[in-house]
Amino acid sequence: MKRYPVTLPVLIGSILLMVAGLFFFLRNYLNHQQVNKEIALIRAANTELRKANLEHLLELAPTADSTQQIPITELRVIQNRASNQLENDRRLTNLEKIDQTYILINRFGIAMLACSVLFLIVFNILQFKRRYKLSKLQEQDRQTMQLLRETLRDKSLVQEDLIREKDRLNFVLEGTNAATWEWNIQNGQLTYNETWATLIGYTLDEIQPIDQSTLSRFAHPEDMVEVNKKVSECLRDHSQFYEATYRMRHKNGHWVWILDRGKVVKSSEEGDPLLMFGTHVDITHLKETNEELTRFASVASHEMREPLRMISSFMRLLDKNYSEQLDKKARQYIHYAMDGAERMSAMIQELLAFAHAGGVQGGKPEWIDCNKLLQDIKELLHGQLEEQQADLQIGMLPTIQARKTPLKLVFQNLIGNALKYQSTGNRPIIEIKASDEQTHWQFSVKDNGIGIAPENREAVFQLFKRLHTKHEYSGSGMGLATCKRIIEQHGGKIWIESSENKGTILTFTILKTA
């Protein structure tokens, strides 16, 4: 704040000067009045003297024809009066000079008083402005301090929350025995926790030094190609996360399956990743369990289908060779048995497909031309398309990276549903389109079938969930559940846009880095 050159001594000096000037002015004023009185008395005395001399001279003046002379004593009286008048004139002249001096002094005193008053007024105005500005600044300071206190309090609360969250995260990591890593992309520094080394039978001290080559020292060389590709794509595409599975060699020599998930936790203003954090989870047991379940499903399906084939074969033979000897009721029973066997066989086949969708049977990701894939499916379904006179419209589709067999199964199921769920006599029209959605490829399969009520849009993706009886529409209720499982394995999601009796638009996405 600006400091004015006005201090308390100056103020006191100004007041004393004003008081002294006022005292001097009053004293000079009183003297001036006294001089004016004396001037007035002298002028009155001179007037009296002139008048007395004039009257005296008129009395003593001789007539024109008189020769009488004025006495000397009278002349001396008149002369004394004239001398007194002259003396009074001299005094009057001096007093008038003194009076002029007093007038100048009075004017100077008035000017001093005016300057003092003006100075005090200006001083008070400046002091008022100064106090006003000071009060404003003090108010701003109070507001700033209040804001600072609130900010510090909020910061303290945030720090306490962060500490609690950190402690909670540490408890979770310790409780779940999760291995964690942190990667500073700018300087390449990598940090692992003790659990990470424990997953492969080591301690952190045993795997030193820790750098960007640490993972490649333990990971399977064949798997590292795919891992490095996913990490590079995550950094290149400014993606927020990546996920990969690979094998790492344990200290005892066997391979451990690891699920690696990484997430960008800090980025630059341009969106470039700066810091990543991730976890490693041992999924060896899960992998082995899935493989065992897949093998069991394959064996079980084969073993179960063999008796069903025998039942169907003997029922056909019975119908063929003895149909004439059987009545209508018996032939109907044979038809029921054959139909049940066929439906059981189809359900076993779909269960096997569902099991394979969750396992490793789909093969490794490869580049797939979706246009060619749909043409293959179109040829596969040629008979059904011709029978229903269906119009299958395939737009321009992209080339994507995915597992070919599971993806083919998805399109087959969706097209099959579009052909199946049609009103009697309705000609199916099916449109397949695709669009680029930055991080995902989005596909849609639109039909003009019976549609799905809004309340059933989620239920149809449940295993064995059917909306119609087997007499209305055939099926096991596993097709869409299998599709959902496959799509989720490819980093996407699937949903339905439909209204009853107005057709269905089934949309799904595939992660580009899948």
- CA separation for the pair 513, 369 (Å, rounded): 16
CB 362 within 8 A of CB 356: yes
In a domain, 289, yes or no: no
**232-246, 296-310, 364-378, range with the lowest pLDDT:** 296-310
501 pLDDT above the threshold of 70: no
Question: Are 82 and 208 within one domain?
Answer: no
Report which of 480, 474, 512, 475 is spatially closest to residue 496, judged by C-alpha positions: 480
With residue 323 as reference, give the H or E element that holds it.
none
- Residues 18 and 150 both lie in one domain: yes
Same domain, residue pair 399 and 491: yes
Task: Say whether pLDDT at 235 is over 90.
Answer: no
Sign of CA dihedral 372, 407, 259, 352: negative
Strands of the 255-267 sheet, one edge to the other: 189-192, 179-184, 273-282, 255-267, 241-249
- pLDDT in the model for residue 451: 82
Between 69 and 408, the more confident residue is 408
* Section 201-222 average pLDDT: 86
pLDDT of residue 1: 43
Q: Is the pLDDT of residue 496 over 70?
A: yes
The answer as to whether 463 is a domain residue is yes
Quick one: pLDDT at residue 64?
44
Q: Where are the beta strands (DSSP E) in 111-230?
A: 179-184, 189-192
> Domain ends where: 282, 300, 323?
282
**Residue 369 pLDDT:** 93
Quote the CA–CA distance of 70 and 82 in Å, as a whole number: 17
Please give the DSSP secondary-structure letter assigned to residue 321. Answer: H
Q: Is 437 helix (H, G, I), strand (E, B) or coil?
A: strand
Please tell me whether residues 266 and 371 are part of one structural domain: no
Please indicate, yes or no, whether residues 216 and 152 belong to a single structural domain of this protein: no
For residue 192, the domain's CATH number is: 3.30.450.20
Task: Compare 507 and 324 and report the one with higher pLDDT.
Answer: 507
pLDDT (0 to 100) of residue 465:
55
Query: What is the number of other CB atoms lying within 10 angstroms of the CB of residue 409?
Result: 22
Q: Has residue 316 been placed in a domain? A: no
Residue 449 lies in a domain: yes
Q: Is 403 or 23 the better-scoring residue by pLDDT?
A: 403
- How confident is the model at residue 354, as a pLDDT? 55
Lowest mean pLDDT among 182-186, 326-330, 363-367, 508-512: 363-367
Residues 504 and 370 in one domain: yes
pLDDT category of residue 475 using cuts at 50, 70 and 90: low
Do 194 and 144 lie in one domain? The reply is no
Q: What is the pLDDT at residue 2?
A: 46
Domain membership flag for residue 386:
yes
Residue 242 sits in which domain range? 177-282
Most confident segment among 16-30, 234-248, 387-401? 387-401
In a domain, residue 345? The reply is no
Neighbours of 366 (CB within 10 A): 10
Beta bridge partners, 53, equal none
**Whether residue 159 has pLDDT greater than 90:** no
Tell whether the model's pLDDT for residue 464 goes beyond 60: no
68-84 in b/e burial notation, b at 16+ Cβ within 10 A? eeeeeeeeeebeebeee
The per-residue pLDDT of the chain, averaged, comes to 78
**Are residues 135 and 212 both part of a single domain?**
no
Residues 439 and 496 in one domain: yes
Which tops the pLDDT comparison, 95 or 256? Answer: 256
For residues 470 and 374, membership in a common domain is answered with yes
Query: Which ranges of 177-283 does DSSP label H, i.e. alpha helix?
Result: 194-199, 214-218, 221-236
Strand partners, 170: none
pTM flag (> 0.85): no
Is 1 inside a domain boundary?
Answer: no
**Among 282, 298, 316, where does a domain finish?**
282
Instruction: Decide the pairing of beta strands 179-184 and 366-369.
Output: unpaired
* pLDDT value, residue 355: 58
pLDDT of res. 477: 59
The CATH code of the domain that includes 384 is: 3.30.565.10
244 and 384 co-located in one domain: no
The residue ranking higher by pLDDT, 475 or 244, is 244
The answer to whether the CB of 490 falls within 8 A of the CB of 419 is: no
Number of folded domains that form the chain: 3
Same domain, residue pair 12 and 112:
yes
Domain membership of residue 335 (yes or no) is no
Last residue of a domain, one of 249, 282, 315: 282
CA distance 375 to 394: 9
Highest mean pLDDT among 109-118, 126-135, 220-229, 394-403: 394-403
